[in-house]
Structure 1
Amino acid sequence: MTETAILWRPVGPAELALIRDSGMRRFPPRLPDQPIFYPVTTEDYAVKIARDWNVRDSGAGFVTRFEVRRDFLSAYDIQDAGGRAHREYWIPAEELEAFNDAIVGAIEVVREFC
């Protein structure tokens, strides 16, 4: 059995539409001005971003939850983005396809803010 870690990703409506287009299996490629993909390590942190930033910027925010193979994540350090409550992985944009391949199961929407 493959060991996995549960991660969260706050997204706006446009990114969620692209995730749905993938059958809830993949995150969309990063835009040219987005060199890093930031999945976060706690639901609370994802809620804060979705509620406080995504709603303000795009009218709605969503929290996604998904599992990633631990053997894949072991190549990356967890980064503190403003303290222990704000921890995330920094996945280079060019490695996002490999990250998507390491997702086990479906990406779920677990929270919604409008």
Structure 2
Amino acid sequence: MMRTTTATTTTTTLWRPTGPEELALVATSGWVAWPPRLPEQPIFYPVLNEDYAIRIARDWNVPASGSGYVTRFEVDSAFLERYPVRQAGGETILELWVPAEELDEFNRHIVGRIEVIREFHA
């Protein structure tokens, strides 16, 4: 989904399923950046549709950590062109794979704030 936020910047809506620890770090950033990846997390993967994010938050994050959250945020579309869309399963299981070392730059291209739009609890 794309929408124009200013006369010169077109953004793409992305979603990110997350657990409580990562969400707390996003809150610490003022809701404007994703935290650095852990050593065992070589990529940051936002997803391209809300339904897929819901499934991960509900079916994976809740059993793993007791809570799962779906976040939504906008990123400069021109910047995102460097990341090919990856199909991680069925037709609607679509992700972007952002290498951990590029996350700071990715964060600089977020437009506006990261918002929690759904939450699930055990």
Report TM bin, short chain: over 0.9
Tell me the residue number matched to 2:50: 43
Give percent identity, aligned residues only.
Answer: 61
- Deviations along 1:34-73, one digit per CA (max 9) or x if unpaired, are 0000000000000000000000000000000000001110
Tell me the residue number matched to 1:106: 113
Deviation, structure 1 residue 21? 0.1
Tell me the residue number matched to 1:31: 38
Aligned length: 114
Q: TM-score, normalised by structure 1?
A: 0.99
Q: TM-score, normalised by structure 2?
A: 0.92
In the alignment, the residues of structure 1 paired with residue 74 and residue 31 of structure 2 have an alpha-carbon distance, to the nearest angstrom, of 12
Moved over 4 A (4+): none
Aligned-residue Cα RMSD (Å) equals: 0.5
In the alignment, the residues of structure 2 paired with residue 72 and residue 83 of structure 1 have an alpha-carbon distance, to the nearest angstrom, of 26
- Aligned residue identity for 1:71: A
The answer to whether 1:16 aligns with 2:7 is no
Secondary structure of the equivalent of 2:56?
A: helix
Structure 2: segments with no counterpart, 5+ residues: 1-7
